[in-house]
Chain A
Amino acid sequence: ELKVEQNPLFLSMQEGKNYTIYCNYSTTSDRLYWYRQDPGKSLESLFVLLSNGAVKQEGRLMASLDTKARLSTLHITAAVHDLSATYFCAGYLAYSGAGSYQLTFGKGTKLSVIP
């Protein structure tokens, strides 16, 4: 069973500061996803990390994957208020025989960026 843990669960940071959200997972996962969720809204895909050492960047967000350490990070650079949201990481577990898969989500990190 794949388990995913995120920390911190709550993060309050000032605009302009940098911070990192950590995502640990328990067993081998081929891929790691990051999603953003605004209050009352659905999940928006941010990054798909497909291999060890993968790094992806979009604006002030950068995600990386270390499959050996079973760790992914989401780094926020010079935070702005618009980044306030809940961020989820999700591990991917494939069932090759059935041709199916499932995502296992962490509990999420609620980020509040204070002016």
Chain B
Amino acid sequence: DAGVTQSPTHLIKTRGQQVTLRCSPKSGHDTVSWYQQALGQGPQFIFQYYEEEERQRGNFPDRFSGHQFPNYSSELNVNALLLGDSALYLCASSRRQTYSNQPQHFGDGTRLSIL
């Protein structure tokens, strides 16, 4: 049973560029959340997708956007990259909270470096 898979593993971009990160949730999961983890910090919630809609958003600017597809996979897009966007981006999946008390399952993350 495949867990949460993310691609790519590493990415190097320059300031001002745009990036797309991808996530496939664990089998049986329909909800995807994205987190940004700066070096030495805890993950910070970016947003959550369910039924192809953004359901909740953390304190991140509109440069951060996402999408969820009918197969529950998701993308995170970041426009106009800044040096401060350098971080580990984690995708987590779960079943919709109404039906499950289980924890979110995290992928291995995408390490994004901005030069």
Which A residues fall within an 8 A CB radius of B? 4, 31, 33, 35, 41-45, 48, 50, 88, 90, 94-95, 98-108
Contacts and interface: CB of A to CB of B under 8 A. Distances in A.
B56 A48 contact: no
B97 A48 contact: no
Interface of B: 31, 33, 35, 40-45, 48, 50, 55-56, 58, 90, 92, 96-98, 101-109
Contacts of A88: 42-43
Contacts of A103: 33, 43, 45, 92, 104
A104 B33 CA distance: 12
A42 B108 contact: yes
Given A100-B55, A107-B42, 8 more contacts: A31-B101, A42-B106, A42-B109, A43-B90, A95-B56, A103-B92, A103-B104, A106-B42
Contacts of B50: 99-100
Contacts of A4: 42
Contacts of B97: 94, 99-101
Given A45-B105, A99-B98, A105 B58 contact: no
Q: In this complex, which of B45, B90, B98 has the most chain A Cβ atoms within 10 angstroms of its Cβ?
A: B45
